[in-house]
A = this chain, B = another copy of it.
């Protein structure tokens, strides 16, 4: 019942895509389990270098021969200002002190050129490893990169947070669009303009579906069969679920992160730039609260991400939620601690029970 042009194209049984959450969440076990269960497992490779990517891809291939996908961050131009880095460190040093970390004044930063180089190496790995599906966040790759991937028949998935971004994705030759609603946890994929307020899926899916003809995957707050069925009613061909897979047994998210979601409420998440320099939705904690007044001062992504790295790492090692980025969508009450296979099966079986 749920198979359609998109599932056929992706060669998957169910229209359920596991969101490519970067930063260690999408373990080999998680990705393989989702694909084995009939969905599309995806490696969140945004922060990986080519070698790390290749290693994980090969590990996943040991566990499944089903299609998998990979997600890359399209490099975006960013400012590097020594003053901004110093100012950010001044705000972060009291936190470092509390965590027993040495203060910092400057840090070694990456450059846009570095990111472009890594991105091209990542693309090379996608091709060499015959990855059938490649998705992008924070933008659309150049015409050259798109053509290179298309020659290999790799299916390209873009990300859109507005109707304009959906149209732009289609125009540039993207095959399928993930439409990210305001409900979504983690980073906003916005790239065309700074959106004043993100748009909810109830509004975004039908308005996007009216303007593009390529398939739409809905992302944001979808955790079960009710969300899947609703997304399809609104005009999507499938869903991408992040938070729902994050609390699964196979996910690499820290225990303290999983616990925060499992105990979370729908009104306890906010968008913040404080962790990375780009807006992302997570559960409100001490760090977000303390840094709230500085949202507009932080250096650009990925500089701020690099600046908070020691803080997040140490907070995580101590098992403390205070200074960790607790990415989470707006449906934490629906999160479960089950296996990825159980989540896929439960979601599909729930769609049968909905009568309208």
Contacts and interface: CB of A to CB of B under 8 A. Distances in A.
Interface of A: 1-2, 162-164, 181-183, 193, 195-197, 199-207, 210-211, 218, 220-224, 226-227, 229-235, 265-271, 284, 329-331, 333-334, 351, 354, 356
A220 B203 CA distance: 8
A266 B199 contact: yes
Nearest to A235: B226
Contact of A202 (B193, B220, B235, B267): B220
26 contacts: A2-B356, A163-B266, A163-B267, A181-B200, A181-B202, A182-B182, A183-B200, A193-B267, A196-B270, A200-B330, A202-B202, A202-B222, A202-B227, A202-B230, A202-B231, A202-B330, A203-B220, A203-B221, A203-B331, A206-B223, A207-B266, A211-B333, A226-B235, A230-B233, A233-B233, A351-B356
B200 A201 contact: yes
A206 B330 CA distance: 11
A267 B334 contact: no
B197 A200 contact: no
A164 B204 CA distance: 26
A231 B202 CA distance: 9
Nearest to A196: B270
B199 A202 contact: no
Contacts of A330: 199-200, 202-204
Contacts of A199: 183, 266-267, 330
Nearest to A222: B202
A223 B266 CA distance: 24
Contacts of A201: 200-202
A200 B182 contact: yes
A239 to B, nearest CB: 10
Contact of A197 (B162, B234, B271, B333): B271
B269 A197 contact: yes
Nearest to A183: B200
Nearest to A210: B333
Of all A-B residue pairs in the complex, the 8 with the closest CB atoms, nearest first, are A200-B200, A203-B221, A203-B330, A230-B230, A183-B200, A230-B233, A229-B233, A203-B331
A196 B233 contact: no
Nearest to A218: B202
A2 B355 CA distance: 10
Contacts of A195: 267
Nearest to A197: B270
B234 A226 contact: yes
Most buried by B among A207, A222, A233: A233
Contacts of A284: 196
A193 B265 CA distance: 14
